[in-house]
Chains A and B, each alone.
Chain A
Amino acid sequence: MRVADEIYLLCHDDRTGNATVAPRVMGAGLAAGLVGELLLSGNLRLHGGGLYPAAEAVAPEDRLAREVLEVVGDGRHDRQLAGWLRFLAVEAVMDVRRRLVTDGVLVRVRSRRLLGVRWSYPPAQSNAAAWPGIRLARILTEGEPLPVSDQVLAGLVDAMGLLERVLWDGDTHAPGRRAAARVRDALPGDVAVLVAQTATVVADVVLT
């Protein structure tokens, strides 16, 4: 499962599909997840705080990733990562949700209300939706070496302030937090900047 998909599932109730995280915090995290996916696949790279398409970029199969790559790759825009995160954050929740519906992870449910209708997006299988959280808690408490994609996930979850929620078992708080700090300190160059910048954008949300 892709980084942004897992973050989306972590931010929503695994049965009802209702959001459990403030929209702007979630938007920042999902935007970072989308950029992270492209950094991991080698399509984007960071240089001096700016975001650039890699010379060897190949159009990703996923439509959303392709769109993000295309717009970031357009040479007319300012390159700063912070600006891109704020920009992508505006529609990231909708974008990632659409992708999860297409992949069959979420279903679109229409319910009648007193006034008009309401759309909700519960997971097709709630066990599958709960899995990213359980998996992250487990790998953080076991303290085994993580693949880079999970390091990015852990870093972004920490930056969004979701770590305590993921480590739902009180006993695992302290060791899990230490493991997350170790992961954060060991992140490779580009994604370390991404995680730090995400923390900054989330802090900005808190301050404004």
Chain B
Amino acid sequence: MVKQLRAGHDLEKALAADRLGVASVVFTVMAAAAPLTVVAGTVPMAYAVTGNLGLPVAFVALGLLLGVFAVGYVAMSRHLPHTGAFYAYVTHGLGRVPGVAAAWVSLAAYNLLQVSLYGGIGAAVSPLVEQTAGIQLPWWVFALGAWALVGTLGRARVEVSSHVLAVLLVAEVVLVIVVDAAALAHPAAGLAGSAWSPAELFRPEAGAILALAVLGFTGFESAVVFAEECRHPRRTIPAATYLALAVIAVLYGVSSWAITVGIGPADVVATAREQGPDLVFTLAATHLGPAAATAGHALFATSILAAMISFHATTARYVFALGREGVLPGVFGRTCPTGAPRAGSGAQSVIGVAVILTVAVTGADPLVALFYTGAATGALGILILLVLAALAILGFFATDPRGEGSWRTRTAPVLAAVGLLAVLGLVLGNFATLIGVPEASPLRWGLPAAYAAVAAAGAVYALVLRTHRPDVFAVIGQGAKADLHHPVPVPA
């Protein structure tokens, strides 16, 4: 390499030897999204719990809204030292106190999403083992097995190789497309267009459906992280972000529609209630033979596992970044020689086992109480972060457009903020429907209020830091990537 430099290459070009293009960034972003987990897990649960058929429209509508959001988001990412985490945007756009509040909300939301998958894996693997080996074991045995695997891999920083993830991703997408095609080729009650009617979105439970669509898009924001590793970040990053959004919107939109067509719009809710995640595989077995169903079950399990490992790593790194900044205790910011965020990974594992054991002891349904409610509540958290980030983008460019045009700095962010606020309002209004509890249930306001409490605690902590540790407060939002000696100024 030294020789290359001598031969007249410049330093940046020498470092750019193996840079990423659009396709690789989209692949990386999608692989963690685990399409089969959403199509076979979340979609049937959404039909079962909410009884609303608006999911296909919701995926497409939200994809468009997030596309508008991404305009300002990508523009702002170019001016931040620390990208990919919503709290960094909030810090730079709205200030450090809201920033820490957002950081704590993110931690809660990502932890919920990760932990909820333990319910999914338990419910996915135990029927598979019963079918193939004839052994009947409770779901939590498999959940704990997955927990041990995820924790060990996270501590040692053995990440699932990107090649394995790519193969799994392609297999999942192929399976989803084949099942979709089969369902659409054999409509139960004619090619019903009712699920595509935007009117579904104006029914009272529509808010619930939109929250679930948010779930499908979780992770699209991470494309900006790769800006430093791209050949032409100014072109590659926006292209990859929009492409990922489009692929997710179309894949999930068509799949959730195909399910209603294959089962019949009138029966899909009842069938989903009865079969849960088996719905898609029963559909596969009917049209493609039992082998397709078995392959589907196996892929469903690996898909959840991949999502779990990826969320675990994300959460652990998040904790690490916050620990380094002093927003969490310093022990979380310590590096370990394997390059793994060890303390963060450990903390995430402790939360995981506590939740699995609690659900197991109380005898709650892992699919409804853990997989579905956890994911739906996590989605609410992500939605709150999206709203805060949209406002932050407006705040960030309000005083200084930093050379970006007004579509990027004003028009698109205003549209995105209004749209996302409306979605948040709908979701909060229908939260009882979303998590399938009666309006009077304590969870109906309790879970949203928990986010408010977490955010308030974060804000109080930030205020304490401002008084007692002004040096720590001063560099909040710089992230571990930034040079803490030359902090970029943050609005007070």
Contact = CB atoms under 8 A, between A and B. Distances in A.
Contacts, number: 95
Interface in A162-208: 162, 165, 193, 196-197, 199-200, 202-208
Interface stretch (B358-366, B447-455, B483-491): B483-491
A90 interface: yes
A203 B1 contact: no
Contacts of B10: 76-78
Nearest to A205: B339
B11 A203 contact: no
A197 B485 CA distance: 8
Interface residues of A, number: 39
B339 A25 contact: yes
Interface in A2-26: 11, 20-22, 24-25
A77 B341 CA distance: 33
Interface stretch (B70-78, B107-115, B132-140, B330-338): B330-338
Contact of B11 (A21, A87, A199, A208): A87
A24 B336 CA distance: 12
Given A22-B338, A161-B335, A207-B317, A87 B15 contact: yes
B321 interface: yes
A142 interface: no
Contact of B157 (A22, A90, A165): A22
B14 interface: yes
* B interface, over-half SS: loop
Contact of B483 (A20, A77, A197): A197
A87 B10 CA distance: 11
A200 B484 contact: yes
A193 B485 contact: yes
Contacts of B5: 71, 74, 77, 87
B14 to A, nearest CB: 6
B337 A161 contact: yes
Contact of A67 (B2, B320, B338, B486): B2
Contacts of A70: 6
A84 B11 CA distance: 8
A71 B6 contact: yes
B400 interface: no
Nearest to B157: A22
- The residue in B15, B333, B337, B338 that gathers the most chain A C-beta atoms within 10 A of its C-beta is B337
B483 to A, nearest CB: 6
B481 interface: yes
Nearest to A19: B337
Contacts of A130: none
Contact of B15 (A20, A83, A197): A83
Contacts of B157: 22
A7 B337 CA distance: 12
A202 B335 contact: yes
A159 B335 CA distance: 8
B337 A162 contact: yes
Interface in B201-224: none
B463 interface: no
A207 to B, nearest CB: 5
Nearest to B337: A21
B335 to A, nearest CB: 3
Nearest to A67: B2
Given A76-B8, A162-B337, A202-B339, 17 more contacts: A21-B337, A25-B337, A49-B485, A49-B486, A68-B2, A71-B5, A74-B6, A76-B10, A90-B1, A159-B335, A203-B320, A203-B321, A205-B339, A206-B320, A206-B480, A207-B317, A207-B479
20 contacts: A21-B338, A24-B339, A67-B2, A70-B6, A77-B11, A83-B11, A87-B15, A159-B335, A196-B483, A196-B485, A197-B485, A200-B480, A203-B320, A203-B321, A203-B324, A204-B480, A205-B339, A206-B317, A206-B341, A207-B320
